Amino acid sequence: MLMWQKIRRFEYHILWWGLFILYEVVVVALASGGFGKPFDYFIHYPVNIALFYVHASLILPVSLRDNKQAYLKLSVLLLIEITIYIYINVALNYWSTGMFTQENLNPIHGYNMTSLYRSFYFIGFATGYYYINKYISEKNSRMESEKRELISDIEKGKMREEVKDAQNAYLKAQINPHFLFNALNYIFIKIRNDQPNTAQSILELSEIIRFAVDSENGPEKISLSEELQQVEKLIHLYSLIQTGQNNIALEIQPDASDLKFIPLILLTLAENVFKHGNLAVENCPAKIKISRDKEKLYIQTSNLINTGINKSGNNYGAKNIKQRLTIAYGERAKFEHRVMDDIFVVKLTIDIRAL
């Protein structure tokens, strides 16, 4: 609770007690035909107010903290509370009047019975105050929880939209994929006899694009082996473009490739390796590794950093991957990247139970 809220609440309590005391004093005066001594009001009302707050803020919370023997604890504390209240009033009465007899210690003495009634009176108010406060607090907690859930749902919705945009941007050919596939098929037919290698590259490109487009409306998860087939085609395309150079190694643990995983992650990782890595150094090949143990799936890429490229927009693929992992697996997925001796390493770690 903020400081100004505490001050405002304190002011309300003072106002309420002021009005209550005024009401009681006036009503009793009208009923009895006169006002009491101001000193009596001054010494007795603080005790009544203290009883109210002790019961509402201490006795009830302590007694009802858990259900185990709650009513027994409440009964014992209530008896102690009322006894202390009555004998404090006996002491204050002696202080005010100077009169004390053995009868004052008798529980059923008239003055003590009046104090007992007053204790029930203020304890009743305190109990109502406690439950009203509890109701308001629980209601505010529910509203705050619902508000957080709503904000979380809105943020997740925004992230899903961002991922969707990222997937759409991954292949601009989705503007009219059927036209694109027909065009590529036409080119393939035209050149397959004269330029078989080029025709094969066009066919593989078409299959990669079709896989990416189909992933948009396909199942949320596919086996890693399905996407690895597309990665192998992408590697083959790269080797054709680089006149036979194939300086990238796939290291796949057999029992890891059957796991279900969200699509386009492997392709995006492979694309980033080709786009931003230096694959010209033969003794430093790029690597794509997939492995697992009983609890985790590990996907890792590593490549020599290409210092001669324009680095603008290099983080787009990484941001896309991180967002999609967060949406699909939450805290059960970890995305890491680092540079070690001019080698750029990306590592994904996913809890097997989340797959």
Over the stretch 155-179, which tens digit does the pLDDT of each residue have?
A: 777 777 766 666 655 544 444 566 6
Domain locations in the chain as residue ranges: 37-149, 155-354
Which two structure tokens, joined as six digits, stand for 92?
A: 């204050």
Residue 265 pLDDT = 92
Is residue 327 within a helix (H) or strand (E), and if so which, with residue range?
helix 316-329
- Fold annotation for 155-354: Heat Shock Protein 90 (3.30.565)
pLDDT 10s digits, 33-52: 778 777 777 888 888 889 89
Residue 112 pLDDT = 64
User: How far is residue 107's CA from residue 96's CA, in Å, rounded to a whole number?
Assistant: 20
- Mean pLDDT for all residues in the chain: 81
307 Cα distance to chain centroid = 40
Decide if 213 contacts 267 (C-beta within 8 A): no
Residue 98 pLDDT = 62
The angle, 0 to 180 degrees and rounded to 10, between the axes of the packed helices 265-276 and 196-217 is 130
Positions in the chain whose pLDDT score sits under 50: 108, 171-175, 312-313
Residue 175 pLDDT = 46
Which two structure tokens, joined as six digits, stand for 297?
A: 């799936």
- Output the DSSP codes for 103-152: GGG-TTSHHHHHHHHHHHHHHHHHHHHHHHHHHHHHHHHHHHHHHHHHHH
Residue 111 pLDDT = 54
Q: What is the model's pTM?
A: 0.51
Phi, psi of 307 (to 5 degrees): -80, -5
